[in-house]
Structure 1
Amino acid sequence: MLIKTPSDRRTNSGVWNGWQRLFIAVFFLAGVLVFQGCGARQKVSSPPQATEIRLDNPVNQVIIKIDLPVMDPAKSTTLVFFALPNGNSIEWTEGKKMVAGDDWHYDIQHIGAQTRYLRQVMKDQNLVTVYLANRLKSWPAWKRQTPNGPAEIRRIVDSVTGMFTAYQPSVVLNSHSGGSFIFGYIDAVKTIPDIVERICFIDSDYGYEDSMHTGKLVQWLSASEKHHLNVLAYNDSVVIYNGKPLVSPTGGTWYRSKLMQQRLSNSFRFEHSADTAFSRFISPDKRIVFLLKENPEGKIYHTEQVARNGFIHTLLSGTKYEKKAGYSYWGNRVYDAFISDK
């Protein structure tokens, strides 16, 4: 289902802004959700396909795609906001079965297939994945060019969450490389709302700043046992690309993740374990997890972290589903059977 917002037109109050257009789409989606919640699910004899809602806002250059199952009001609802990696499209991020001539990007993330796998595991939940993109294909660039970028990011999250008010959703902020979106949201709020139950960085916490983010994360993690933080990163500091270091000494996710963990260790206890594959820092209650991939060969593991069940792990880590789901992080892809043909 493709929703196109109205073209620019003049009203008595001037040009419609992007969020007025978004609210038109919100009302349309609300009708879809109400219909699904009023018995549509019982009328489907075969496993239903997810409904897709696309919100394309040319004013603020934001593109949103919502992948939702047939909503069951008897289930709890989780909204996963997934900020796209820099340079990627929503279609690449969703993924599909590869055929001759396809761009290789279709086979490196498979958030669509990982979402479908998760729905089979989390059967007691309505799992909704919200793909967040922009026309610049870069959240850092978008924030630099957008007046009050963090406030706009918060408005995006609040507006989409508002569509699902009747389902009393919990929110997950997730990202692969697109962590600038999450930090923009954190920058925009005085305190991280209780409705946000999980924050996940898949090689995406480049923008972490101790002075701006640690206090809010500590306050949020301390506020509820339902709040989880998951950080996946690899040692990018040893990677040489085209004859030059891939990242600056303090700019990569290896450095930023270790810095975040060190700062959080002032408030929370971590159990540390290490081997040739990973350095792990995990709180005793498993609500705070840092999995840092060692990299003695200096390889680029950016996409591997999400492809090897990374999205699945950030959603299931520390939950009742983790040991029953039949997957392992950095293991073989468990979602291949759920990859769509198109």
Structure 2
Amino acid sequence: MRRFNLLFILAIFFVVFCLVDRSLGQNKQKPELTGFVPGIIPEEATLTISDKPTDVIIHINSPRADLIDPRKKTRLIYFALPNGNSIEWTAGKKMTSEDDWHYDIQHLAAQTRYMRSKLNDFNIITVYLATRQKSWPAWKKAHPGYPQLIQNLFTSINANFESLTPMITLNSHSGGGSFIFGYLDGVSDIPMNIDRFAFIDSDYGYEEKYGHQLANWLKVDKKRYLSVLAYNDSVVVYNGKPLVSPTGGTWYRSKLMQSHLAREFKFKSRTDTSFIRSEALSGRIQFHLKQNPKGLIFHTHQVGLNGFIFSNLSGTKEMNKARFTYFGEQVYNDFINSQPENLH
């Protein structure tokens, strides 16, 4: 009798769960993607916005509207470009003898497609963020009201996908980290729909105040993640001079960020000849700091060697589905297109 009652209760729970799940799915609708044009592969649609008054260039790469499934989770990944890079270079392409070498260092477009191929229960949209100065730190100096400009930017872009209630990742490389800190300068409480911050060798501008913001944000929800990738740039000598100051590089700044977060969260660390790996909150916070005994420059390698994929998935169950290794063999080569990203 007890067994029958238990089975009956479980059956009722299952029916209710299915009805709720179906209702939530029905409340979501396909976005219209107004103004989007076909991408360089048939499955994609793109939109480029060049806002001259604010010096910001936005490029959105989305699955084609009819391929977006409202029943799936939607991941909106903002990626702030490194200093000196164009959107086309950051997206990447198959190299020819006449191409600029920058086309072969990051491959965000191919890494995005790889994630889409492995994570079938997600709609994945990548937003490239660039400036006319080709530098987010320089842009902030040119626009003292940058916190409000960044908030306006988010409002405008998010409106394209609000029917999908997406979760948002703020990601960055190199000087792009300045954009993330600029965003944090404009908010007292980080919105609930942002569930991941990622710094790929990009936390040069880190200060203790940002550590407090991130710690408070991480405490609110067990589905929030922080990924920090850096390498030992403090030992690099370039053209006879140190590449960074003793406290100005990401090696120092990443360790400083971790030390501040360690006041709130207990870290476990392990060290080998390749990395110092530190985790807290069951992997929701991850610092991967690359050792550098030969004083090499690994700045862009951290993105190109699956770093974009890793920084977006670290600490989640989707890591196992994606089947890749950070700083290992490039897993996305089959997804590199022969043409540059379509910026129209």
Flag whether TM exceeds 0.5 (same fold). yes
**In 2, Cα distance between equivalents of 1:132 and 1:321:** 25
Pairs within 5 Å for 1:1-342: 31-32=32-33, 48-70=42-64, 71-177=68-174, 178-210=176-208, 212-342=209-339
**In 2, Cα distance between equivalents of 1:217 and 1:130:** 22
**In 1, Cα distance between equivalents of 2:34 and 2:331:** 30
Aligned to 2:223, what secondary structure does the other structure show? Answer: coil
**In 1, Cα distance between equivalents of 2:245 and 2:151:** 29
Task: Please report how far the alpha carbon of residue 324 of structure 1 lies from its aligned counterpart in structure 2 after TM superposition.
Answer: 2.8
Aligned to 1:133, what secondary structure does the other structure show? Answer: strand
**In 2, Cα distance between equivalents of 1:166 and 1:142:** 31
**In 2, Cα distance between equivalents of 1:285 and 1:99:** 44
Q: Write out per-residue CA displacement over residues 32-71 of structure 1, whole angstroms, 9 at most, x where no aligned residue.
A: 36999xxxxxxxxxx9421010011111111000000032
**In 1, Cα distance between equivalents of 2:336 and 2:36:** 28
The more displaced of 301-310 and 66-75 is 66-75
Q: Which has the higher contact order (CA 8 A, sep 6+)?
A: 2
**In 2, Cα distance between equivalents of 1:96 and 1:194:** 35
Task: Please report how far the alpha carbon of residue 156 of structure 1 lies from its aligned counterpart in structure 2 after TM superposition.
Answer: 1.0
Cα RMSD, aligned residues only = 1.7
Task: Please report how far the alpha carbon of residue 79 of structure 1 lies from its aligned counterpart in structure 2 after TM superposition.
Answer: 0.5
**In 2, Cα distance between equivalents of 1:72 and 1:31:** 13
User: How high is the sequence identity, in percent, across the aligned residues?
Assistant: 54
**In 2, Cα distance between equivalents of 1:52 and 1:318:** 29
Task: Please report how far the alpha carbon of residue 190 of structure 1 lies from its aligned counterpart in structure 2 after TM superposition.
Answer: 0.5
**In 1, Cα distance between equivalents of 2:324 and 2:78:** 22
CA contact (8 A) 2:31 2:164 kept: no
Aligned length: 303
CA contact (8 A) 2:247 2:253 kept: yes
CA contact (8 A) 1:48 1:69 kept: no
- Give the 3 Å change call, closer, same or farther, for CA 249–123 of structure 1 in structure 2: same
The more displaced of 190-199 and 317-326 is 317-326
Task: Please report how far the alpha carbon of residue 288 of structure 1 lies from its aligned counterpart in structure 2 after TM superposition.
Answer: 0.1
Task: Please report how far the alpha carbon of residue 293 of structure 1 lies from its aligned counterpart in structure 2 after TM superposition.
Answer: 0.2
**In 1, Cα distance between equivalents of 2:212 and 2:315:** 23
Aligned to 1:79, what secondary structure does the other structure show? Answer: strand
CA contact (8 A) 2:169 2:195 kept: yes
CA contact (8 A) 2:33 2:160 kept: no
TM-score by length of structure 2 reads 0.85
Q: Write out per-residue CA displacement over residues 193-223 of structure 1, whole angstroms, 9 at most, x where no aligned residue.
A: 111010000000001001x211111110001
**In 1, Cα distance between equivalents of 2:235 and 2:94:** 33
Runs of 4+ aligned structure 1 residues displaced above 3 Å come to 33-36
Unaligned runs of 5+ in 2: 1-29, 340-344
**In 1, Cα distance between equivalents of 2:225 and 2:31:** 29
CA contact (8 A) 2:235 2:242 kept: yes
**In 2, Cα distance between equivalents of 1:335 and 1:304:** 14
Aligned to 2:159, what secondary structure does the other structure show? Answer: helix
Aligned to 1:259, what secondary structure does the other structure show? Answer: helix
CA contact (8 A) 1:154 1:188 kept: yes
Unaligned runs of 5+ in 1: 1-28, 37-46
CA contact (8 A) 2:199 2:229 kept: yes
Q: Write out per-residue CA displacement over residues 137-181 of structure 1, whole angstroms, 9 at most, x where no aligned residue.
A: 000000010131122112212221122111001100000111000
CA contact (8 A) 1:271 1:284 kept: no
Task: Please report how far the alpha carbon of residue 236 of structure 1 lies from its aligned counterpart in structure 2 after TM superposition.
Answer: 0.2
Aligned to 2:150, what secondary structure does the other structure show? Answer: helix
Aligned to 1:32, what secondary structure does the other structure show? Answer: coil
- Which protein has the larger Cα radius of gyration, Structure 1 or Structure 2? 2
